[in-house]
Every structure is written in C-alpha cells, then in structure tokens.
Amino acid sequence: MRLDVVSLAPEALAPLLGLGVIGRAFAAGIAQLHTHNPRDFATDRYRKVDDEPYGGGAGMVLKPEPVFAAFEAIPVLPRRRVLLMSPQGAPLQQVDLRRWATTYEQLVLLCGHYEGFDERIRSLADEEISLGDFVLTGGELPAAVIINGVVRLLPGTVGTAASLEEESHSAGLLEHPHYTRPADFRGMAVPEVLRSGDHGAIARWRFAQQQQRTEQRRPDLYARWQAQQERQQ
C-alpha cells in the first residue's frame, strides 16, 4: 500500500519507519510512506503557507494554494482514498482501518496545522477523521495512528494473522484477558480453566469474559453488539 502524507511537519512521521513490525513492513515493501510538505510548494520568497483569517480572529489559517499544489503533485493510484485529519471528523473506528486496509491501494492523509485550514481544502478529501473530542497542534499524530492501524492489518505485517481477528473491536467486543507464566504471581493466580487443556471450555470462558468486560467498560459497544446479535437471529 502507498501512504502519502501532506504535512508541514513530515519529521513527525519518521519514527514509523523504525517502529517494530510497522517498520519491518515498510522495510519489506508491504507499505510505502511518502511525505509532501506544502512549504516546498509555496511560491513567495518567504515560502508562506498560512495567513490571517478573513473576518478577523485569533491564530493563522493554512492557505489553500500550497496544500493543493502538494496534493496535486502526488501520483494517483486506481484505488485511492483521501483522508483529512480534523477534530470535526468522524471518530476513528477499527472498522475504518480494516476497510481502508482491504479496499484501497493508496491512502492520502492531509494534516492541518495552526488555527485551522482554509475551508476549501476540505474539498480534496473523501473522508474527515478525528481521534476524539479534543484538539491537537496538527494532524500528524492522528495520521501516524491511522498509518499504524492500517499497516498492521496488511497481509505479511503480523506473523499470526488469526491474532488480528481475536483482538478488541474486531468483532464488536473487547478482547478477553490474557495470562502467561508464572501460574501464580504475588497471590494473583491464572484462572484454572486456562490451565485445564479443555479448549472448548477455554473458548467459552474467553467469550464470556469478552461480553462481561465490554458490558462493564464500554456499555455503548455492548449495546451495539447486542443489537447486532438480535438482528442476526
């Protein structure tokens, strides 16, 4: 997959290239990361990329010209999706990461900066995405999160593909608890069922734990999962 990031701080994405399995995926050619700095496309002598907002107000606004120029210089692959990092966007979901990983061969991520970006920049995007109801200084961290979440789902990144199917949010429930040796640590014992060797009992225990944990920690997810189960019956 080709990943293109339009950003005024491309150095913020560099750590991804050396980050565990994600870094190895880039090294193996499973994914390619390209950054494009709008400042390189500014046409004035000061390479200006922001300006005061029309109508007044605090802060500076990212100008459309250098962003459009950077965007239009990116090669276009047949199956491409353009994502705009924005606190006004739809909350990021695991289902989005999986959809992008399995449907597209190119993702373009647009990162804002300063007080915001010129409204016309929104016209470039297919989707606007937010990490939550808060504001950061730029879109680089959300872009890095999306890249991490998408690349780990690409075939060949994670050694055991089945582990991706059993983790939190993959099937609408949070993941069950995990334990490893020792069997008893400071009085906290591994549940007996996990040491029983009865794979059917283990599967039932894990599923029950998923439901219990989701209901306790994320009642909103649990209610959604219950509704889905009822529709399937």
- pLDDT tens, position by position, 95-122: 999 999 999 999 999 999 877 899 999 9
167-232 under CATH 3.20.20.70, yes or no: no
User: Is 162 a residue whose pLDDT tops 60?
Assistant: no
Supply the pLDDT for residue 163.
55
Supply the pLDDT for residue 104.
98
Sorted by sequence, the CB contacts under 8 Å of residue 221 that are 6+ apart come out as: 169, 172, 173, 174, 214
Over the stretch 187-228, which tens digit does the pLDDT of each residue have? Answer: 999 999 999 999 999 999 999 999 999 999 999 999 999 999
Helix (H, G, I), strand (E, B) or coil at 204: helix
Share of the chain above pLDDT 90, in %: 86
Label residue 170 by pLDDT band (50, 70, 90): low
Label residue 172 by pLDDT band (50, 70, 90): confident
2-151 under CATH 3.30.300.30, yes or no: no
Identify which of 36, 42, 25 has the alpha carbon closest to the alpha carbon of residue 143: 36
User: Looking at residues 33-37, what average pLDDT do you find?
Assistant: 98
Supply the pLDDT for residue 171.
76
Question: How far apart are alpha carbons 81 and 100 in whole angstroms?
Answer: 8
Identify which of 131, 135, 154 has the alpha carbon closest to the alpha carbon of residue 144: 131
**DSSP code of 5?**
E
Identify which of 81, 89, 132 has the alpha carbon closest to the alpha carbon of residue 109: 81
Supply the pLDDT for residue 166.
57
| Structure-token pair, residue 219 | 């009642």
Domain boundaries, the chain: 2-151, 167-232
User: Is 64 a residue whose pLDDT tops 90?
Assistant: yes
